[in-house]
Structure 1
Amino acid sequence: MCGLKSAAFVIIFGDAIHNFIDGIAIGASFSISNQFGVATSIAVACHELPHELGDFAVLIESGLSVRRAAFLNFLSSLTAYAGLFIGLAAISVDSAVEILLAITAGMFLYVAWLDMLVHLKKEPASTNDKWYITLLLQNIGFITGFLIMFTIGWYEEVLESL
């Protein structure tokens, strides 16, 4: 694809599909209620920032210029709008919203667990590695994500008034 290395192509293509599914999740959530849509949007935004930065770093590492990596990353992000419109249109079809939310939730869990397990199964490079620092950082990340979602649920009534 236009002189891209295979790693860059896989990142861009995979990110486009990922963003499309994010869009479906957000659109279907707003089809249910504004409160649910805002909560889903916050969760997706918290997830997407490090994800997009990681993709950007991989694109640069694969030999793309900063400008081209940013442009291709932006293009792959546009697929979220297509997913958003599909999610919003799902309100006109009986039970489509529930099906879309179940599919996207399953895909989010699959991707999250698959990505996390790959990193957790890595063996330390040597016995001198400070494994406990890695464990601490992983747990801080997990707990932070949990607390963000808990806070969204706790202040559900405030979000409902938006």
Structure 2
Amino acid sequence: MSLDDVEDRLQECAVVQELNAQRAAARGGHHDDGNLAASSLSQRLFSVLFPGGPAANALLATLYISGPPNFLLALCPPNIDPASLSVMVAFAVGGLMGDTLFHLLPEIFVGEEGGGGGARFVLVEPNRNLLLGVAILVGFMTFVAMDKGLRIATGGSGAHDHAHGPAHPAPRQDEIASSTGVERTQKPGEVRSRGKEGGSKTKTDSAGKDKEISSSVKLGGYLNLIADFTHNITDGLAMAASFYASPTVGATTTVAVFFHEIPHEVGDFALLVQSGFSKRAAMGAQFVTALGALLGTLIGVAVQEFGGGSSGGSSAAKGASLPLDGGLLGTSLTWGDLLLPFTAGTFLYVGTVGVIPELLETEAGGRKAAEVRKTLVQFLAIAAGAGIMLYISWHD
């Protein structure tokens, strides 16, 4: 007997039918009119943006999170300071953490599916939640390993702190000059344009001597592209896993990833320019890495379709078979069911280890009053990002 069969049999129970009637009456009552209006508004918006099935919606979401942030790079000046995006970074942290805590984790462990329906039941089986916790830990540690490997490859954390989250340190003015075709003179504040003659890109130090952009900075730029491509694959996996969990989880995950991608892409763009890329070359490289998200989505859809993942709800509530010898390690879990907890683990890393340390930084010698105001704004942005996720979940 499958869990779908068990659910159908439960709906025949007189007590369950009474609970369903009470829930239907509550939803149609006067006190819930506001909730219904808010819910229908978000559902109408999501239905317009995501009109297809889980696979089609996951591909659409990938286009939403990859396209606009890359096109915005055309408006970014080559010498943009990623630190100026701290408020947007804080908002993205709130969105990512809110999506993880209010949508992903409840869906993983309880099988809360957005939308209507009657009373639902969760069948608890031994060791199932343990495997889900292991998948979350694997996702978290995967990003730890990727971040550590990148730091080792670039010769230390100072070369490139990038874990799909932290904005890159602002390039020094002389480094910006060397990579954008502008030279600094020995006098502070004077800048003159460099001609288009051939030769390697150089920069002038305080003594007026030319030296090539260091090989470690160039290496950091190329390694960034590899890391960005890999991280975008995990974004694609997140899109597939979330839409196969439920339309609401998919939509909120798309929103959270979208607002995270904007400062993330700008930070990568600034690092590539610092590494010697022209603006057009940096934009082209970012577009290529965006294809990693599409690849990840296709992999995720394949795993869900052919790996036994449940669609339209968590296997905790339906879609999996009850016999425990048919799943992973004697549970009802399939490989597709592990994508969502893996995604939650990566989001936990991005929101905590990846980005929050950047928000904790203060400027050396800065005024305390200014730092306090900046911190308050960042906290308000985090609250706004998390509040949007909570609002959608509360009224769903």
The two structures have a TM-score, normalised by structure 1, of 0.82
> 1:12: Cα distance to partner?
1.2
How far apart, in 1, do the equivalents of 2:347 and 2:378 lie? 18
1:98 equivalent to 2:353? Answer no
8 Å Cα contact 1:12/1:72 also seen in 2 = yes
SS at match of 1:150: helix
> 1:84: Cα distance to partner?
0.4
8 Å Cα contact 2:307/2:335 also seen in 1 = yes
> 1:121: Cα distance to partner?
4.6
SS at match of 1:64: coil
Contiguous gaps of at least 5 residues in structure 1: 157-162
How far apart, in 2, do the equivalents of 1:127 and 1:39 lie? 37
> 1:116: Cα distance to partner?
2.8
| Residue in structure 2 matched with residue 41 of structure 1 by the alignment | 254
> 1:81: Cα distance to partner?
0.8
SS at match of 1:21: helix
**Deviation sequence 1:107-137 (CA, Å, 0-9, x none):** 1211221223432453540163522023113
| Residue in structure 2 matched with residue 25 of structure 1 by the alignment | 238
Identical aligned residues as a percent: 36
| Shift in alpha-carbon separation, 1:155–1:48, aligned structure 2, 3 A | farther
Range that drifts further, 31-40 or 135-144: 31-40
How far apart, in 2, do the equivalents of 1:97 and 1:137 lie? 40
Range that drifts further, 118-127 or 66-75: 118-127
| Shift in alpha-carbon separation, 1:155–1:90, aligned structure 2, 3 A | farther
> 1:16: Cα distance to partner?
0.8
8 Å Cα contact 1:22/1:44 also seen in 2 = yes
| Residue in structure 1 matched with residue 357 of structure 2 by the alignment | 118
8 Å Cα contact 1:31/1:87 also seen in 2 = no
8 Å Cα contact 2:362/2:371 also seen in 1 = no
**Deviation sequence 1:10-36 (CA, Å, 0-9, x none):** 221121111100000101112223332
| Shift in alpha-carbon separation, 1:57–1:151, aligned structure 2, 3 A | farther
How far apart, in 2, do the equivalents of 1:127 and 1:68 lie? 36
| Residue in structure 1 matched with residue 267 of structure 2 by the alignment | 54
Contiguous gaps of at least 5 residues in structure 2: 1-214, 309-333
> 1:79: Cα distance to partner?
0.5
Specify the code of the residue in structure 1 equivalent to 2:352: W
| Residue in structure 1 matched with residue 111 of structure 2 by the alignment | none
- Compare the two structures and name the one with the higher helix fraction: 1
| Shift in alpha-carbon separation, 1:37–1:112, aligned structure 2, 3 A | same
| Residue in structure 2 matched with residue 136 of structure 1 by the alignment | 376
Specify the code of the residue in structure 2 equivalent to 1:141: A
How far apart, in 2, do the equivalents of 1:137 and 1:5 lie? 35
8 Å Cα contact 1:28/1:90 also seen in 2 = no
How far apart, in 2, do the equivalents of 1:123 and 1:51 lie? 20
| Residue in structure 2 matched with residue 149 of structure 1 by the alignment | 389
> What is the number of residues matched between the two proteins?
154
Specify the code of the residue in structure 1 equivalent to 2:279: V
How far apart, in 2, do the equivalents of 1:89 and 1:10 lie? 28
CA RMSD of aligned residues (A): 2.2
| Residue in structure 2 matched with residue 159 of structure 1 by the alignment | none
> 1:5: Cα distance to partner?
0.6
SS at match of 1:5: helix
How far apart, in 2, do the equivalents of 1:40 and 1:117 lie? 19
SS at match of 1:125: coil
Specify the code of the residue in structure 2 equivalent to 1:59: L
How far apart, in 2, do the equivalents of 1:121 and 1:10 lie? 26
How far apart, in 2, do the equivalents of 1:126 and 1:153 lie? 42
Range that drifts further, 130-139 or 147-156: 147-156
Specify the code of the residue in structure 1 equivalent to 2:358: H
| Shift in alpha-carbon separation, 1:60–1:151, aligned structure 2, 3 A | farther
